[in-house]
Amino acid sequence: MSVFLALWRRELASFFLSPIAYVMAVFFLVVEGFSFWYLASALAMGSTEVTVMSQFFGTLFFWIPFFFIVPVLTMRLFAEEKRSQTIETLLTAPVTDLQVVLSKYFGVLSFYICMWLPTISYAFILAVFSSETAPIDFGPMVGGYLATLLIGMFFLAVGLFCSALTRNQVVSAIICFAFMFVVFFAGLLHPYVQSEVVKDICIFGSSVMHMLDFSRGSIDTRPIVLYVSGTLLVLFGVLRVLETRKW
């Protein structure tokens, strides 16, 4: 455990010392802040029976930064180690491949969570400074953040897998972005699919549909199992990719 914690602190510190990570964090908070302001302004002129936070996770402004921050945060994890030829030094140290994979994964996941933490204050800011909005509905708020965590866990694991496949950070980011793009639009194509089987698969695997359901406070255990098992499967794939150096 001490080895894992040391590696995890190393990975987390690398994010807080990276200018790219700060640029992405600022970009993320600016977009999400604008989304919050826009929704608050729109709802202030209309119905106050719904809360801003219940609509916050279903807008396009939620997905725009999401598509950029995940590939950018994960592209350097293994690709940079390979490019700088420090991967062999790391993997020949008295650490296991599993500890290396988990430390890199939980390092980027921790930074991802830190990026989202300031947005929790949005609902309380609105409640303090506005008397015309509905009270905070913690059901949709908790559901939205739970879905954000689950979807982020899965796509960050995919980004880690893409980074383990190549030594080029740009290639890693493009592969991760392409995968997220396909998953995103596959969920939106179900109204146009004729086959009921394919339509059910599109709906069941749609991150957009899951986010909309969770942000309404409708928490289903099936997406939770899907994202947790998918994350574990992808991390297992990362471990197998690292072990190919021994073949």
SS (H, E, C) 111-144: HHHHHHHHHHHHHHHHHHHCCCCCCCCHHHHHHH
∠91-94-95 over CA atoms, to 5°? 60
Pairwise CA distance, residues 213 & 140, whole Å: 9
Write down the pTM of the prediction. Answer: 0.87
CB 160 within 8 A of CB 104: yes
Residue of 192, 195, 228 whose CA lies nearest to 210: 228
Give the confidence band of 46 by pLDDT, cuts at 50, 70, 90. Answer: low
Retrieve residue 235's tokens.
């991390």
Please report, for the chain, the start and end positions of each structural domain, with discontinuous segments joined by +: 2-246
Residues with Cβ within 8 Å of residue 184, at least 6 apart in sequence: 63, 67, 207, 208
pLDDT of residue 54: 59
**Residue 216 tokens, joined:** 């309404």
Residue 49 has pLDDT above 60, yes or no: no
pLDDT tens per residue, range 85-140: 777 777 677 778 888 889 999 999 999 999 888 888 777 776 666 655 555 667 77
Q: Are 82 and 168 in contact (CB under 8 A)?
A: no
pLDDT tens-digit readout, 176-222: 988 888 877 776 666 666 666 766 777 677 777 878 778 777 777 88
